Structure 1
Amino acid sequence: MLTSVTIARRQSEIREALAGLVGKDTPSEDETRQMSALDAEYRNNETRYRAALIAEDQERREAGADLETRSDREFNELIDGFELRQVALALDEGRALDGATAEVVQELRSQGGFRGIPVPWLALEQRAGETVASGTPNPLQTRPIIDRLFPDSVAGRMGAQSITIDHGAIEWPVTSSAITAGWANGETASVPGPTAYATTDKSLAPDHNLGITMRITRKALKQSGAALEQAVRRDMAGTIAAELDKAVFLGTGATGQPLGVITGQSTYGITSTPVGALASWAAFRAAVVRFMTANAAGSPGSVRMLIRPETWSVLDDTLIEGTAVSEWDRLVRHIPAGNIAMSSNALATPAGDPLATSALLTTNAGGVAPIFVGLWGAVDLIRDPYSDATSGGLRITGLATVDVTVARGTQLELLTGIELEADEGGG
């Protein structure tokens, strides 16, 4: 109990005792001494009470902050104990969920409809043993945010931000106006303006459903035990990450796919520049300069780059004349190697004559991610009781609703026609 509360209760007891003593017309000597002692104690307690309030002020502030965040932390702690093994056994044998897994599933069901058993996105993180590294970061807005759900994915390395959405569509305003400053031309002149402040709404809609089908044999269910936990999590997370990478950059916008960044370059207002020359640092340097002159990037080190492995091979094999320095050495001297992602999944296969490919450059401007990936609710795990019935296996389908959008097209640039071989017919 806080000291101030203890003192306040004692003060109340002193007042009651004094009220009984002062009501007597002729108090005895003992009663008079008792009143003097109580009065002195009361005045001393007033000083102690004020000191206790000052000392406990910081404790009250911390307690208040703890109450405000306790519900989020408690839910994250429940997810730490979520077991995919229980979900698999519940779908296979009808075993009842228990512990943290049951509580998380019940909470997810209360927020949205699921045909099967909902699995939170955070539960797909690969864990060491049965623990999760850390909780989600505090959101800047009311929406919960999961930064780098798949940290090794190309989308994550290119600065894409994952946003969890309970239900419905969501949109947020992004500044699209160019506010300018000016000087007053003369002693009595007015400054230029005002300039209208304009925003553009960027939306994510639950129109695209991704399906992941897994087949677990009866032998795996019976002999794997706790190892099944990591197996299911690893396979499901890896499959979703690979397919999301492909959709984020190469999604067609048709046949159920979201519109990818590269495929939807013109729709998102992304500048596309044809290189038409052999891959070199000069081509990438020109794009970095365009970023910096557009105030999208402050330095080459803030630019992220997505290239094909074949592009790296050409850059590393091309030496500056008369030196042992390659074009790749020049590139990583200005753009950190950690900002460069290589993928044969997120970029189309080289084609044409001469063989050519593309590259994508992104940057984080003003704390705004270049790409947003919306993830709805949780992964809905549904059992197929018929396909593997004769072998006693378990076949489950995970359904995930996903969408992609770009905040500002100026934070991305597409380079096309990066040649991987010399044009022998170009003369």
Structure 2
Amino acid sequence: MLESVKISRRQSEIRQALAGLVGKSQPTEDETRSMETLDTEYRGNETRYRASLIVEDTERREAGADLETRSDREYAELIGKFELRQVALHLDEGRKIDGATAEIVEELRSQGGYRGVPVPWQALEKRAGETIASGTPSPVTTAPIIDRIFADSAAVRMGASMVNIGQGSNEYPIASGSVTAGWADGETANVPGPTVYSTSERMLAPNSTLGIQMKITRKTLKQSGDGLEQAVRRDMNGAISVALDKAVFLGTGANGQPSGVLVGSYGITSTAVTAAASWSAFRAAVTRFLTANAANGPAAVKLLIRPEVWSDMDDTLIEGTAVSEWDRLVKNIPAGNIVMSSNALAAAAGSPLATKALLTTSVGGVAPIFVGTWGAIDLIRDVYSDAASGGLRLTALATADVTVSRAVQLEILTGIQ
């Protein structure tokens, strides 16, 4: 029992005893001494009661902080024990899912409907000991769920925020009309106004579903053993990363695809360069960011280009010097802010060959791009297609959508030759 509760109960007993003694018109000497003793104890208990409350409040706060983080830590530990191999064997031969894997599957089923076996997004992260490309950051527990899967994707490196949504849609109100200030024109004049503060809404809706199909032969199931889990995870990771990364920028908005940043109607400023790639072309775009108060310097800007643009700029020297156009670019925009991708940008076309580039910046901690994913990955087995050969065909379904925050945080350059 808490000390404060014990003291409170004793105080109640003292009050009852005093009430009985005070009601007597002529108390005896013993009763008078008893009243003095009880009164002294009551005053002392008041001080002890306040001290107990202070101590117990501190203990409650510490315990509460531990409880707030304990569930996340425990779930992260369970995810680390999730075995995709159990899911594959369950779908293939009906083997029972047990242990941490079963706990996670039941938790996901309680939060949403799945035709097959739900697989958490975190389970697709690359585990320690797997072969990864040089320079690829090793995922850590404290990273966001989706960032951990697509940590090397162009979308994340361009500042996109990955949002996991349980159900429904996410709406982001963005200020579209600003309140202006003005001076009163004279001693009795009114200040200008009123001006309207308005917002526009950016929506992430579960309208687009990405599907990945894998065919696993009977021989693979018998030979691979534990290695099958890592192989399937790598395949799913690569397929989802490539497809979603491309959709973020080049999604058509038709045939089930989300509207990509370079294709959708987001009101993003598009400027035609119609010239060879050079630092001056990108500098003009950065200047527009600075003028619109969207960035406080070139170092706050991220740039997405195709590898051919880098090759051309690095080969173009400033007349009379050994400095290339690429050297001038990285002198102002840090190399870590420049993303080269042949997947996120369409191949050069036309005559002369020309391509696009995208510039983004974050303002006030608000990402320029939002990528939403819903729930977990739904892993379903096709029991008919490969039944004759004893193979296993899996379909992984993931629901995702793309939107931008403020159009002023992005700019598209076209016609970069």
Q: Same fold (TM over 0.5)?
A: yes
- Whether 1:115 and 2:115 are equivalent positions in the alignment is yes
- 336-345 vs 384-393, greater mean Cα deviation: 384-393
- SS of the equivalent of 2:384 reads coil
| Contact in 2 for aligned 1:307/1:359 (Cα 8 Å) | yes
Mapped partners of 2:248, 2:206: distance in 1: 15
Which amino acid is the alignment partner of residue 92 of structure 1? D
| Contact in 1 for aligned 2:139/2:148 (Cα 8 Å) | no
Q: Tell me what 1:252 maps to.
A: 252
- Whether 1:308 and 2:315 are equivalent positions in the alignment is no
Q: Tell me what 2:222 maps to.
A: 222
Report 1:25-424 matches (<5 A): 44-67=44-67, 71-128=71-128, 133-135=140-142, 146-147=146-147, 149-264=149-264, 267-419=265-417
Mapped partners of 1:218, 1:365: distance in 2: 52
Indicate how the Cα distance of structure 1 residues 48 and 414 shifts in structure 2: closer, same or farther if over 3 A, else same.
Answer: same
- SS of the equivalent of 2:395 reads strand
Mapped partners of 2:343, 2:160: distance in 1: 16
Q: Tell me what 1:425 maps to.
A: none
Q: TM-score, normalised by structure 2?
A: 0.86
Per-residue deviation, 1:226: 3.2
Which amino acid is the alignment partner of residue 291 of structure 2? T
Mapped partners of 1:406, 1:377: distance in 2: 21
Identity, in percent, stands at 72
Per-residue deviation, 1:119: 1.1
Indicate how the Cα distance of structure 1 residues 280 and 98 shifts in structure 2: closer, same or farther if over 3 A, else same.
Answer: same
Mapped partners of 2:168, 2:263: distance in 1: 25
Gaps (5+ residues) in structure 2?
131-137
Q: TM-score, normalised by structure 1?
A: 0.85
Gaps (5+ residues) in structure 1?
138-144, 420-427
Per-residue deviation, 1:106: 1.6
| Contact in 2 for aligned 1:148/1:161 (Cα 8 Å) | no
Per-residue deviation, 1:224: 3.3
Which amino acid is the alignment partner of residue 251 of structure 1? G
| Contact in 1 for aligned 2:21/2:27 (Cα 8 Å) | no
Indicate how the Cα distance of structure 1 residues 413 and 385 shifts in structure 2: closer, same or farther if over 3 A, else same.
Answer: same
Deviations 1:22-50 (A, max 9, x none): 99x99999x99999988766654443332
- 158-167 vs 5-14, greater mean Cα deviation: 5-14
Mapped partners of 2:101, 2:142: distance in 1: 16
| Contact in 2 for aligned 1:149/1:162 (Cα 8 Å) | no
Q: Tell me what 2:133 maps to.
A: none
Q: Tell me what 1:424 maps to.
A: none
Deviations 1:291-338 (A, max 9, x none): 111111121111111000111111111122222221111111111111
Indicate how the Cα distance of structure 1 residues 12 and 308 shifts in structure 2: closer, same or farther if over 3 A, else same.
Answer: same
- 124-133 vs 90-99, greater mean Cα deviation: 124-133
Mapped partners of 1:132, 1:87: distance in 2: 23
Indicate how the Cα distance of structure 1 residues 231 and 321 shifts in structure 2: closer, same or farther if over 3 A, else same.
Answer: same
Which amino acid is the alignment partner of residue 158 of structure 2? M
Indicate how the Cα distance of structure 1 residues 41 and 119 shifts in structure 2: closer, same or farther if over 3 A, else same.
Answer: same
Per-residue deviation, 1:103: 2.1
Which amino acid is the alignment partner of residue 357 of structure 1? T
Deviations 1:182-212 (A, max 9, x none): 2222222222222101111111222211110
Mapped partners of 2:16, 2:370: distance in 1: 65
Count of matched residue pairs: 409
Per-residue deviation, 1:259: 1.4
- SS of the equivalent of 1:306 reads strand
Indicate how the Cα distance of structure 1 residues 6 and 416 shifts in structure 2: closer, same or farther if over 3 A, else same.
Answer: same
Mapped partners of 2:5, 2:11: distance in 1: 10
Mapped partners of 2:354, 2:199: distance in 1: 37
- SS of the equivalent of 2:331 reads helix
